[in-house]
């Protein structure tokens, strides 16, 4: 702890870009990027990069030839030059060769979770700026290692948390900043997404989701790796889509911080029942014991007196919802019923539809770039997350979702596992900022360029 504290405080004090090569930090018109992991998500992000005139995709790496081939086809369809490729030999370390700062100005990491920390650390050590898909690491130590590498090297790092850029989420950010809800008191979010057909599928790359209950080597895409986490881990496994927006609303690391955390887990039924229903009771996977509770409920306490409740719910039948609620002394917003209540504005005790608030508080970024975001992934928000990364790189500006956000949001996972394993104990939340949260000022979405 002492060494960590020293690293955090000394390097943070020295100014985070201390040892980053200024040649790469200079403002510029275009950036050359590489993508590691060209699976389901990597292909979406690649398509976003290819839509931009200020990005050259010069390098791709994947150890699954089908996905590397699909990525090359996307590049060809976009009429862009063929990037150099790595991973055809299925060498899981091939990505290291892509990290040549004389050839690339940044790298997008869209691989399975267990690869994020080693790949981000390798890239930052090579002085290649990182845009990393959620999550930042697996163990708590991973998170300290990613943080300390960033602080030591000064290489830019952004967590590519796209939900922070959802149109309603950003309008609510404007409402929070305008004081519409008064002083914030309580927030909720989560990842409530029926992933049974993703975690258990046919394994056929041409039609993976048309039934089937395979995972591991016999599965396809996330069933190859994500499902193992449900077998062995019990915790809030995917916190950032829920916590990201809540953390921005509550100014976490910018005048506020998480101080405590605890988690509760229900029994585990959903994945097993799904296997029995689709594969039959005699299917070999019907004997798999899943550690992950079907609903994980996590509570965080914040230094300024707010609580944040997160729910992870991926194994039961249900429509998708991130379950946001933002509540203050004057009113609240909930996304599940797309409604708002503001005392003095709304009829007493009655919900009002969100749309008029959306229209009035639409974020300047959305107003400016809605046309460019048309057709982009996840209702347009994937445009914005890539836009923020690319524009920040070009301008050598601070990343809007930075290393402290990345590690704290993502460390919720190992801490929630620890809480559940210890009989739902409340734990102290580490201060990854080494105290600088007290004086850091909010920057997210204050600039209408990115
Ligand atoms: N932000 C979002 O909305 C969103 C959506 C989906 C997925 N994700 C995240 O994106 C990441 C990837 O998920 P996915 O759905 O694309 O999974 P996927 O399994 O479809 O793709 C992962 C790819 O990484 C490749 N890979 C594995 N090990 C590698 C290595 N050592 N070197 C190079 N390539 C390697 C695999 O071959 C595969 O093609 C995950 O972190 C996931 O949580 C984010």
Q: What is the DSSP string of 158-185?
A: EE--GGGG-HHHHHHHHHHHTTTT-SEE
Tokens of 66: 């089908």
Q: How many CA atoms lie within 13 A of 149 on its CB side?
A: 25
Q: Return the ligand 1 atom nearest residue 64 CA.
A: 37
Confidence band of 427 (pLDDT split at 50, 70, 90): very high
Is residue 148 located within the same domain as residue 176? no
Rounded-to-integer distance, Cα 83 and Cα 33, Å:
10
- Residue 304: inside a domain, yes or no? yes
Is residue 216 located within the same domain as residue 351? yes
- Residue 287: inside a domain, yes or no? yes
Q: Return the ligand 1 atom nearest residue 161 CA.
A: 1
**What is the residue with the minimal CA distance to atom 43 of ligand 1?**
134
Mean pLDDT computed over every residue of the chain: 94
- Residue 93: inside a domain, yes or no? yes
Mean pLDDT of the 276-302 span: 98
Q: Return the ligand 1 atom nearest residue 43 CA.
A: 16
Note whether 166 and 245 are within 8 A (CB).
yes
Confidence band of 17 (pLDDT split at 50, 70, 90): very low
Is residue 348 located within the same domain as residue 230? yes
- Which of 65, 85, 112, 312 to mutate to test ligand 1, by most ligand atoms within 8 A of the CB atom? 112
Rounded-to-integer distance, Cα 409 and Cα 418, Å:
15
* Pick from 117, 252, 97, 119: nearest CA to 176: 252
Residue 12 has pLDDT above 90, yes or no: no
Cis amide leading into 135 (omega within 30): yes
Mean pLDDT of the 198-204 span: 97
- Residue 68: inside a domain, yes or no? yes
CATH number of the domain that 237 lies in? 3.30.360.10
Note whether 341 and 352 are within 8 A (CB).
yes
Is residue 116 located within the same domain as residue 258? no
**What is the residue with the minimal CA distance to atom 2 of ligand 1?**
162
Instruction: List phi, psi (to 5°) of 311.
Output: -130, 130
Mean pLDDT of the 142-158 span: 98
Is residue 422 located within the same domain as residue 308? yes
CATH number of the domain that 68 lies in? 3.40.50.720
Of 163, 195, 217, which closes a domain? 163
Tokens of 358: 């959306």
Is residue 87 located within the same domain as residue 158? yes
- Which of 133, 228, 380 to mutate to test ligand 1, by most ligand atoms within 8 A of the CB atom? 133
- Cα 108 to ligand 1 centroid, rounded to whole Å: 11
Is residue 306 located within the same domain as residue 249? yes
Is residue 244 located within the same domain as residue 171? yes
- Cα 133 to ligand 1 centroid, rounded to whole Å: 8
- Cα 154 to ligand 1 centroid, rounded to whole Å: 26
* Full-model pTM: 0.95
Helix (H, G, I), strand (E, B) or coil at 190: strand
pLDDT of residue 25: 54
- Residues lining ligand 1, judged by CB closer than 6 Å? 36-42, 61-64, 67, 87, 92, 95, 110-113, 115, 133-134, 162, 221-222, 224, 378
- Cα 8 to ligand 1 centroid, rounded to whole Å: 30
CA 122 to chain centre: 19
* Pick from 299, 183, 172, 313: nearest CA to 248: 172
pLDDT of residue 210: 76
- Residue 386: inside a domain, yes or no? no
Rounded-to-integer distance, Cα 293 and Cα 312, Å:
9
Is residue 234 located within the same domain as residue 94? no
Total residues belonging to the chain:
450
Of 147, 163, 179, which closes a domain? 163
Note whether 58 and 83 are within 8 A (CB).
yes
Mean pLDDT of the 134-158 span: 98
- Residue 444: inside a domain, yes or no? no
- Which of 59, 111, 159, 240 to mutate to test ligand 1, by most ligand atoms within 8 A of the CB atom? 111
Is residue 61 located within the same domain as residue 194? no
Is residue 132 located within the same domain as residue 171? no
Lowest mean pLDDT among 5-19, 141-155, 214-228: 5-19
**What is the residue with the minimal CA distance to atom 40 of ligand 1?**
112
Rounded-to-integer distance, Cα 256 and Cα 429, Å:
12
Helix (H, G, I), strand (E, B) or coil at 13: helix
Of 163, 188, 216, which closes a domain? 163
Q: Return the ligand 1 atom nearest residue 61 CA.
A: 33
Q: Which domain holds residue 264?
A: 164-363+403-438
**What is the residue with the minimal CA distance to atom 19 of ligand 1?**
221
- Cα 277 to ligand 1 centroid, rounded to whole Å: 28
- Cα 223 to ligand 1 centroid, rounded to whole Å: 11
Rounded-to-integer distance, Cα 60 and Cα 35, Å:
5
Rounded-to-integer distance, Cα 342 and Cα 276, Å:
47
Q: How many CA atoms lie within 13 A of 40 on its CB side?
A: 14
Note whether 257 and 263 are within 8 A (CB).
no
In which residue are the tokens 């989701």 written?
A: 209
* Pick from 446, 363, 323: nearest CA to 166: 363
**What is the residue with the minimal CA distance to atom 27 of ligand 1?**
111
Note whether 295 and 137 are within 8 A (CB).
no
pLDDT of residue 14: 33
Summarize pLDDT for 317-337 with one digit per residue, the tens: 999 999 999 999 999 999 999
- Cα 389 to ligand 1 centroid, rounded to whole Å: 18
pLDDT of residue 13: 35
Summarize pLDDT for 105-120 with one digit per residue, the tens: 999 999 999 999 999 9
Rounded-to-integer distance, Cα 121 and Cα 118, Å:
5
Is residue 245 located within the same domain as residue 267? yes
Helix (H, G, I), strand (E, B) or coil at 191: strand
* Pick from 95, 112, 90, 128: nearest CA to 41: 112
- Cα 111 to ligand 1 centroid, rounded to whole Å: 3
Note whether 104 and 33 are within 8 A (CB).
yes
Confidence band of 26 (pLDDT split at 50, 70, 90): low
**What is the residue with the minimal CA distance to atom 13 of ligand 1?**
41
- Residue 215: inside a domain, yes or no? yes
Residue 339 has pLDDT above 70, yes or no: yes
- Residue 390: inside a domain, yes or no? no
Q: Return the ligand 1 atom nearest residue 42 CA.
A: 16
Helix (H, G, I), strand (E, B) or coil at 429: coil
Give the number of domains in the chain: 2
Residue 234 has pLDDT above 80, yes or no: yes
According to DSSP, the β-strands at 307-313 and 295-302 are: antiparallel
* Pick from 145, 119, 140: nearest CA to 42: 119
According to DSSP, the β-strands at 331-334 and 325-328 are: antiparallel
Helices (H) and strands (E) in the chain, counts: 16, 15
Mean pLDDT of the 32-46 span: 98
Note whether 400 and 450 are within 8 A (CB).
yes
Q: Return the ligand 1 atom nearest residue 41 CA.
A: 16
Mean pLDDT of the 13-18 span: 39
């Amino acid at each position: 702890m002492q060494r960590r504290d020293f690293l955090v405080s000394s390097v943070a004090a020295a100014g985070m870009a201390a040892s980053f090569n200024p040649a790469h930090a200079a403002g510029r018109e275009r950036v050359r990027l590489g993508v590691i992991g060209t699976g389901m998500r990597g292909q979406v992000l690649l398509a976003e990069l290819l839509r931009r005139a200020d990005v050259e995709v010069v390098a791709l790496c994947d150890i699954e030839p089908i996905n590397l081939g699909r990525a090359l086809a996307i590049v060809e369809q976009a009429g862009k030059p063929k990037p150099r490729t790595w991973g055809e030999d299925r060498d899981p370390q091939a990505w290291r060769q892509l990290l040549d700062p004389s050839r690339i100005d940044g790298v997008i990491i869209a691989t399975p979770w267990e690869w994020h920390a080693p790949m981000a650390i390798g890239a930052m050590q090579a002085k290649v700026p990182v845009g990393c898909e959620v999550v930042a690491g697996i163990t708590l130590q991973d998170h300290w290692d990613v943080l300390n590498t960033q602080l030591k090297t000064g290489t830019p790092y952004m967590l590519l948390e796209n939900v922070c850029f959802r149109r309603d989420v950003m309008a609510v950010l404007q409402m929070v900043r305008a004081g519409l809800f008064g002083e914030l008191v309580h927030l909720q979010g989560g990842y409530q997404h029926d992933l049974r057909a993703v975690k258990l599928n046919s394994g056929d790359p041409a039609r993976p989701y048309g039934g089937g209950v395979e995972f591991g080597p016999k599965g396809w895409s996330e069933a190859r790796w994500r499902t193992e986490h449900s077998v062995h881990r019990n915790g809030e496994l995917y916190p950032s889509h829920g916590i990201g927006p809540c953390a921005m609303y509550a100014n976490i690391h910018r005048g506020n911080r998480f101080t405590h955390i605890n988690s509760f887990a229900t029994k585990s039924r959903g994945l097993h029942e799904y296997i029995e229903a689709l594969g039959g009771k005699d299917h070999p996977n019907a004997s798999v014991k899943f550690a992950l509770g079907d609903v994980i409920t996590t509570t965080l306490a914040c230094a300024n007196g707010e609580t944040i409740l997160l729910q992870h719910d991926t194994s039961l039948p249900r429509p998708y919802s991130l379950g946001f609620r933002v509540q203050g002394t004057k009113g609240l917003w909930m996304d599940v019923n797309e409604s708002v209540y503001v005392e003095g504005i709304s009829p007493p005790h009655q919900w009002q539809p969100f749309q008029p608030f959306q229209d009035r508080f639409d974020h300047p970024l959305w107003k400016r770039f809605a046309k460019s975001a048309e057709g982009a992934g996840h209702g347009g928000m994937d445009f914005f997350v890539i836009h923020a990364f690319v524009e920040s790189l070009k301008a050598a500006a601070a990343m809007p979702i930075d290393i402290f956000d990345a590690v704290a949001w993502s460390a919720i996972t190992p801490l929630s596992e620890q809480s559940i394993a210890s009989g739902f104990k409340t734990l102290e939340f580490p201060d990854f900022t080494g105290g600088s949260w007290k004086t850091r000022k909010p920057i997210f979405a204050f600039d209408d360029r990115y």
